[in-house]
Amino acid sequence: MSSSPPQKRIGLPWPELNDGLVYKDVVSSSESELTTLSDFYSTKYKSSAPLLGWIQRIQNGQIQIDGEVVKDPNTLLRSGSKLVYHRLPWKEPDTPYSLDILYEDDDLIALNKPSGLQVLPGGLFQQRTLLTQLQWCFGKQNSSTGSPESHPVPVHRLGRGTSGILLCAKTKLAKTKLAAYFAEGTSLVGSGNLDQECGTGRKISKIYRALADGIVEEDEVVIRQPIGVIQYPGVAKGLYVASPEGKPTLSKLYVLERDRQRNCTLVKVEIQSGRPHQIRIHLAYIGHPLVGDPLYIAGGQPKCLDPDFVDASPLAKDGGYQRPSQAVPGDCGYHLHAHQVELPNLLDTRKVVKIVAPLPPILHTSSEAEEKKLFLLQVKLN
């Protein structure tokens, strides 16, 4: 069973400012031992702001202890105290909001995510995310129909700069099954017993298109380079890179078209495992990073890697970090598209759901582009 053309489009414009954030904590007995208010926040939420930033927030009156605003950073905490921090609303970077529905049934919805839209909240993007659009669009529908069901939720991620198919579960059962499907391929790679052919033994198949720098001479390339994490300025949880000490991965690349004039190669990539930024890292590892990738270079490493580097950017108005001066994973500019997904129908596993997302113009082969022109011409003439 194949997906039908987009049935409808969802998406609501973003307000100029988001709603800010509220962090709620209860001080434990271990945290209360001679711990000051500023030390508590700068330790527990160090990825949000440095010590000086938290002191600024406290002095601004943004933190309450047991319902009372406290402006002294050196206030000692007591076990059981309730803390509330209000992060002031801010304007998030410009972000697309419109989403096409590629497929929908009782359990599953597949969206065509545009490049530039983050899937889940993080960093500068707390409201302008795909998850927020799901909450707004489907939460509004449910409230109008009186349905107690919650909004659909993403069951995997795509990088902010990656476009294409994103699967979302509409029920708890679907969420459990889809999560198991995605985990299955990664576990098969980790077991070492996987056949070299991608997709073997896994229930879900994911195919991407990408534009790689340089000319890939081999028609097919299997990439098994492990992916690990290193410390990197501006990325609190660390940056994923090609690393011999990393976790097992498997990607298979197929050349679709070589453009020697522009010195780039259009490729199809099928992935068995699902490590973060896997395709970007794997293509960079073999010497063909994605065209326009601001972060990864040949070898699967970041362009700027200095472990002693300290970003001296001034703090934001609310005491938080400014955007890092060096490239980070969420930066866009590369060309990567989740083009096709196949998986069993969640209600009848004997049937297969095939979902295809329309390709951006730059990722069409010459013959596909010509066919599209002829088709549009015929439509115009008719």
State how many domains the chain has.
Answer: 3
Same-domain pairing of 240 and 299: yes
User: Contact, 239 vs 230, CB < 8 A?
Assistant: yes
pLDDT of residue 146: 45
Taking 70 as the threshold, does the pLDDT of residue 49 lie above it? Answer: yes
Exposure string of 131-162, with b = 16+ CB inside 10 Å and e = fewer, is bbbbbbbbeeeeeeeeeeeebbbbbbbbbbbb
**Rounded to the nearest 10 degrees, what angle do helices 51-59 and 37-44 cross at?**
130
Task: Quick: pLDDT tens for 173-190.
Answer: 999 999 888 887 666 676
pLDDT of residue 185: 65
Q: Is 9 among the domain residues?
A: no
pLDDT of residue 16: 96
Same-domain pairing of 319 and 227: yes
From 67, 87, 107, give the residue that closes a domain: 87
Q: Residue range 11-24: average pLDDT?
A: 94
Name residue 195's beta-bridge partners: none
Same-domain pairing of 135 and 150: yes
Within 10 angstroms of residue 320's Cβ, the number of other Cβ atoms is 21
Q: How confident is the model at residue 306 (pLDDT cuts 50, 70, 90)?
A: low
Report d(CA 318, CA 87) in Å as an integer: 7
Q: How confident is the model at residue 148 (pLDDT cuts 50, 70, 90)?
A: very low
User: Contact, 280 vs 302, CB < 8 A?
Assistant: no
Name residue 258's beta-bridge partners: 265
Same-domain pairing of 137 and 172: yes
C-alpha distance from residue 255 to each of 141, 219, 266, 281 (Å): 43, 5, 6, 17
β-strand pairing of 220-223 with 99-104: unpaired
Same-domain pairing of 106 and 228: no
Same-domain pairing of 176 and 212: no
Name residue 222's beta-bridge partners: 252
Among 162, 86, 87, residue whose Cα is nearest residue 124: 87
User: What predicted TM-score, i.e. pTM, was given to this entire model?
Assistant: 0.85
CATH of the domain at 100: 3.30.2350.10
Q: Is 316 among the domain residues?
A: yes
Same-domain pairing of 255 and 302: yes
Q: Is 381 among the domain residues?
A: no
pLDDT of residue 4: 47
Same-domain pairing of 158 and 227: no
Same-domain pairing of 292 and 214: yes
From 193, 223, 251, give the residue that closes a domain: 193
Q: Is 3 among the domain residues?
A: no
Q: Is 82 among the domain residues?
A: yes
* Paired tokens of 326: 């060096």
pLDDT of residue 161: 97
Name residue 9's beta-bridge partners: 100
Task: Quick: pLDDT tens for 322-337.
Answer: 677 789 899 999 999 9
Return the SS3 of 216.
Answer: coil
Return the SS3 of 36.
Answer: strand
User: Contact, 9 vs 98, CB < 8 A?
Assistant: yes
Same-domain pairing of 81 and 179: no
Q: To the nearest whole number, what is the mean pLDDT of the chain?
A: 87
CATH of the domain at 31: 3.10.290.10
Q: Is 343 among the domain residues?
A: no
Q: Is 358 among the domain residues?
A: no
Q: Residue range 40-66: average pLDDT?
A: 92
Domain with 106, as residue range(s), is 94-193
Report d(CA 272, CA 255) in Å as an integer: 18
Spatial neighbors of 167 by CB under 8 A, at least 6 apart, are 108, 109, 110, 154, 155, 156, 178, 341, 343
Percent of the chain exceeding pLDDT 70 equals 85
Return the SS3 of 117.
Answer: coil
C-alpha distance from residue 367 to each of 5, 191, 220, 363 (Å): 22, 40, 20, 12
Report d(CA 287, CA 382) in Å as an integer: 47
Q: Is 333 among the domain residues?
A: yes
**What count of residues does the chain have?**
382
From 298, 322, 337, give the residue that closes a domain: 337
AA letter at 287: G
Q: Residue range 20-45: average pLDDT?
A: 90
Same-domain pairing of 214 and 288: yes
Same-domain pairing of 228 and 293: yes
Task: Quick: pLDDT tens for 224-258.
Answer: 999 999 988 878 789 999 999 999 999 999 999 99
Q: How confident is the model at residue 348 (pLDDT cuts 50, 70, 90)?
A: confident
